[in-house]
Amino acid sequence: MTQFFQFTNLCRHFEQNGRYIMESGSVEPGHILAIRGPSGAGKSTLLKMLARLIIPESGEIIFRGQSWQTISPMAWRTRVHYVAQKPVMFPGTLEENFRMPFKVSSILNGKGFSRENMLQYMAATDLPLSMLSQEAGTLSGGEAARAALIRALLVEPEILLLDEPTAYLDGDNRAAVIDLLNQWVFTQERAIIVVSHKDEDISELDNVSILTVAVGKARE
């Protein structure tokens, strides 16, 4: 059986103190891999290596039986999509931000923007439709975090990489995002890899396995 998504001995040294991260793991469709570990252990660095925003010094990533090196970086990032902890909004309205990924049509394999999906995701995360014409730069941190997640979901990735997805959210908004992620991961062949320091997030996500990242130290 072909492994859905697996990474083996991904390694990256940090700039200070001879520290490094080297980790292996895997995730199957319908499942969530939660990355835990102390501050400074390299959890976000691991996510960025999986997203190919940082190139590992060694190691391998296999996605649906293919090495990551045989897939172009841009195509990879639509199938294995990264959402940063600090939400990024681009100049223009919120709706223009939602439509922005579809301007690069050559890497989306014919996928088109779905207004129906956009409206469903906005309702699920309690973003009012009146915000569509609002300048994205005026959104609050919590609104921008939900908008960045929706923009990622609209691309319909197969693997969603999330760095502290509820960091800017409290109460009902946090619960709504957790519910949406649980629903999303069971639709089609999808999986999530998430970094979170919140125990309540991990406990409320379904089909979760834990990867604990330790701080590595090179020998003198």
Residue 206, domain CATH: 3.40.50.300
Whether the predicted pLDDT of 217 surpasses 70:
no
Q: What average pLDDT is seen over the chain?
A: 92
The answer to whether residues 127 and 150 touch, using CB atoms and an 8 Å cutoff, is yes
Token output for 145? 């975090």
Q: What percent of the chain has pLDDT over 70?
A: 93
Rg, the chain, Cα only: 17
Q: Which domain holds residue 125?
A: 5-217
The pLDDT, as a whole number, for residue 83 is 97
The arithmetic mean of pLDDT across residues 35-43, rounded, is: 89
* HSE-CB of 39 using CA atoms within 13 angstroms: 1
Whether the predicted pLDDT of 1 surpasses 80:
no
Cα–Cα dist 184/29, whole Å: 11
The pLDDT, as a whole number, for residue 106 is 53
The count of structural domains within the chain is 1
pLDDT digits (tens, 9 = 90+) for 189-198: 999 999 998 9
The arithmetic mean of pLDDT across residues 64-76, rounded, is: 93
Global pTM value: 0.93
The pLDDT, as a whole number, for residue 219 is 46
Cα–Cα dist 100/65, whole Å: 30
- Return the number of other C-beta atoms located less than 10 Å from residue 109's C-beta: 10
Cα–Cα dist 125/141, whole Å: 14
pLDDT digits (tens, 9 = 90+) for 104-123: 655 566 678 999 999 999 99
pLDDT digits (tens, 9 = 90+) for 133-162: 999 999 999 999 999 999 999 999 999 999
Lowest-pLDDT range, 30-44, 142-156, 203-217?
203-217
Cα–Cα dist 133/127, whole Å: 12
The pLDDT, as a whole number, for residue 105 is 56
Residue 136 burial by Cβ neighbours in a 10 Å radius (0-12, 13-18, 19+): buried
The pLDDT, as a whole number, for residue 216 is 64
Q: Place 103 in a pLDDT band, splitting at 50, 70 and 90.
A: confident
